[in-house]
């Protein structure tokens, strides 16, 4: 098991290196660099710019050097000093802008993931066990619909319904009085009371997909000989179901968390923009529009890193859940 973990962590580091290089490449795609943008902005305002400061900034980010050297500088600044560069739209260090947003984003995505599982597994199991029942048809229909509605469209519809029939704005994560308040119990409760709608919207397509996959997996297992054996031994039906085939059919989920999570973060990004939630979405979007590339790059880097770590954790969970996989790595 230990060698498995070591290997996975090593692999993760390689992936992270690739992510950071790609991110840096994207940062560099638009013509010009941060300093020349700064210069242009200052000139358009008719301000005198301090050439020395510009030279200092160039030096700090290694902008006059080749790609690899620039990349090395950016990475070492991040790793050594936690310095992600400076956002030129905000005139602030990136790290002072993003952390609480990233925190909320990830909190939202993980809550959505838990919601998806809590809803989808029971429904998926039910619709496999009672195949072709009315409930199964309802679940299947819901599954198709959930996959076909774009998330932002769902958000728009909810906003419209909230406005039209309840006369209230459904956007945001906090009520006005808690918007700038420090964290306390009341603020947490307020957050929870606003959270259900984004979770519902972001989780929609994930839930639909998960129901369909659970159903298909379980249907494959239900007619295998070991199920018949267990039934012949006289095991009660529900105990039998939960102990063997359901357990088997759930393992793919741990291994696909790595794909579900990026999807949830994507969904979270666009929903946050539509519902103006104080998560990474709107800030990232604004940064993309103003070509605030250090901010964009840092967001992608951090979100991808968290996703890769999430994937690693889910793989470890899979090894713990499924003895077949555990044994493969224990040399058994």
Partner 1 sequence: MRDTRGASQWRLIWRRFRKHRLAMVGSFIVLLIYFVAAFAEFLAPTTTGAQNENFAYAPPQRLHVFDEKEGFGLYVHGLSSKRDPVTYELLFTVDESARIPMGFFVRGEPYHLWGLIPMDRHLIGPTDRGETVYLLGADRAGRDMLSRIIYGARVSLSIGLVGVAVSFVLGLLLGGISGYYGGGPDTLIQRLIEFLMAIPTLPLWLSLSAAVPSGWGPLTRYFAITVILSVIGWTGLARVVRGRFLSLREEDFVTAARLDGCGRSRIIFRHMVPSFTSHMIASMTMAVPGMILGETSLSFLGLGLQSPAVSWGVLLQDAQSVRALETAPWLLFPGIAIFVTVLAMNFVGDGLRDSADPYK
Residues forming the site for partner 1 (CB under 8 A): 14-15, 18-19, 22, 26, 29-31, 144-145, 147-150, 152-153, 156-157, 159-160, 163-164, 169, 258-259, 262-263, 265-267, 269-270, 273-274, 284-285, 288-289, 291, 296-297, 299-300, 303-304, 307-308, 311
Query: What is the spatial distance between Cα 224 and Cα 245, in angstroms, rounded to a whole number?
Result: 9
Show Cβ contacts of residue 322 under 8 Å, excluding neighbours closer than 6 positions. Answer: 251, 254
Q: Using the minimum distance from each CB to partner 1, give the nearer residue, 249 or 304.
A: 304
Q: Name the token pair of 7.
A: 């290997």
Which of the 8 DSSP states describes residue 85?
-
Query: What is the spatial distance between Cα 72 and Cα 68, in angstroms, rounded to a whole number?
Result: 6
**Min dist. Cβ of residue 37 to partner 1 (A):** 14
140 SS3 class: helix
**Min dist. Cβ of residue 18 to partner 1 (A):** 5
Q: Using the minimum distance from each CB to partner 1, give the nearer residue, 32 or 236.
A: 32
**Min dist. Cβ of residue 152 to partner 1 (A):** 6
Query: What is the spatial distance between Cα 231 and Cα 69, in angstroms, rounded to a whole number?
Result: 65
**Min dist. Cβ of residue 150 to partner 1 (A):** 5
Beta bridge partners of 1: none
Query: What is the spatial distance between Cα 212 and Cα 10, in angstroms, rounded to a whole number?
Result: 34
Q: Using the minimum distance from each CB to partner 1, give the nearer residue, 227 or 270.
A: 270
Which of the 8 DSSP states describes residue 279?
S
Q: What are phi and psi of 112, to 5 degrees?
A: -65, -40
Count of H-run helices and E-run strands, the chain: 14, 2
**Min dist. Cβ of residue 78 to partner 1 (A):** 18
Show Cβ contacts of residue 22 under 8 Å, excluding neighbours closer than 6 positions. Answer: none
The answer to whether residues 7 and 318 touch, using CB atoms and an 8 Å cutoff, is: no
Q: Using the minimum distance from each CB to partner 1, give the nearer residue, 218 or 284.
A: 284
Show Cβ contacts of residue 121 under 8 Å, excluding neighbours closer than 6 positions. Answer: 210, 214, 250
**Min dist. Cβ of residue 125 to partner 1 (A):** 20
The answer to whether residues 69 and 22 touch, using CB atoms and an 8 Å cutoff, is: no
Secondary structure string (H, E, C) spanning 29-78: CCCCCHHHHHHHHHHHCCCCCCHHHHHHHHHHHCCCCCHHHHHHHHHHHH
Say if residue 325 is exposed, middle or buried (CB neighbours under 10 Å; 0-12, 13-18, 19+). Answer: middle
């Amino acid at each position: 098991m230990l060698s498995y973990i070591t290997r996975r962590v090593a692999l993760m580091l390689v992936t992270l290196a690739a992510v950071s290089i790609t991110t840096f490449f994207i940062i560099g795609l638009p013509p010009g660099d941060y300093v020349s943008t700064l210069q242009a902005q200052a000139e358009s305002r008719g301000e005198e710019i301090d050439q020395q400061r510009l030279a200092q900034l160039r030096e700090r980010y290694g902008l006059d050097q080749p790609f690899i050297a620039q990349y090395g500088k950016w990475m070492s600044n991040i790793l050594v000093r936690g310095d992600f560069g400076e956002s030129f739209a905000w005139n602030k260090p990136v790290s002072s802008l993003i952390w609480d947003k990233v925190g909320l984003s990830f909190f939202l995505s993980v809550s959505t993931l838990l919601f998806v599982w809590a809803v989808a597994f029971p429904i998926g199991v039910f619709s496999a066990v009672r195949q072709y029942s009315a409930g199964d048809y309802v679940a299947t229909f819901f599954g198709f619909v959930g996959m076909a509605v774009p998330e932002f469209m769902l958000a728009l519809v909810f906003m419209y319904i909230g406005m039209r029939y309840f006369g209230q704005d459904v956007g945001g994560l906090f009520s006005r009085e808690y918007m700038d308040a420090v964290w306390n119990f009341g603020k947490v409760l307020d957050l929870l009371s606003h959270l259900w709608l984004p979770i519902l919207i972001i989780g929609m397509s994930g839930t639909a997909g998960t129901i369909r996959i659970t159903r298909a997996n379980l249907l494959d297992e239900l007619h295998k000989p070991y199920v018949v054996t267990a039934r012949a031994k006289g095991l009660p039906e529900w105990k039998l179901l939960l102990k063997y085939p359901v357990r088997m059919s759930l393992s793919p989920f741990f291994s696909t968390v790595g794909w579900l999570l990026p999807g949830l973060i994507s969904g979270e990004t666009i929903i946050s923009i539509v519902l103006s939630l104080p998560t990474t979405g709107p800030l990232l979007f604004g940064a993309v529009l103003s070509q605030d590339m250090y901010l964009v790059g840092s967001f992608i880097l951090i979100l991808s890193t968290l996703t890769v770590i999430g994937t690693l954790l889910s793989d470890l969970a899979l090894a713990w859940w499924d003895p077949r996989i555990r044994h493969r790595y224990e040399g058994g």
